[in-house]
Amino acid sequence: MKPLHSRVEAHQLDRAAAMLKVLSHPKRLAIVDLLGKAKGKDSQMSVTDIYQALDLPQAIASQHLITLKDRGVLKSSKIGTKIYYSLAVPQLLKVIDTLEDYSGRL
C-alpha cells in the first residue's frame, strides 16, 4: 500500500483507527483509565475490583474486559480463581489524558 502521508503508512492508520474504535465506548475508556491509575503489583485489578469501582454489572464489565483483551489493549493473568487485568499498551494513557484535556474545553 502507498503511504497516505510521508511518515504514516496506510496499514498503521488502519490499526490506529481500529484501536480508537475499541476505545470509543465510554465504559471501555473508563476501564482503561481506571487500570492506568491503579496502584499495586503491575497495576493489576481483579474483575470484581473493576466492576465495583465503575458501578457496572459484573456481566457488562466482563464483556468489555474480554473485548479489550481480544483487541490487545489489556492483558490478563489468573491467580487462584480470580482473573486480574492490566494494560498491555500503557501508552494509551497519553491518548486518554489528551482526550480528557480536550473534553474539558468543549
Residue 55: domain span? 4-104
DSSP label at 106? Answer: -
Q: What are φ and ψ of residue 56, in 5° steps?
A: -115, 150
Residue 50 amino acid letter? I
SS3 state at 75: strand
What is the pLDDT averaged over residues 18-40?
88
Question: Grid coordinates in use for 74?
Answer: 489489556
Question: Whole-angstrom Cα distance, residue 45 to residue 39?
Answer: 9
CATH code assigned at 33: 1.10.10.10
Q: Please state which of the ranges 1-5, 8-12, 71-75, 94-98 shows the lowest mean pLDDT.
A: 1-5
The CB density around residue 31, as the number of other CB atoms within 10 Å, is 27
Per residue in 33-56, pLDDT (tens digit) is 999 887 654 589 999 999 999 999
| pLDDT for residue 106 is more than 50 | no
- Can you tell me the mean pLDDT for 76-88? 93
Looking at residue 42, its pLDDT comes to: 56
Domains: count for the chain: 1
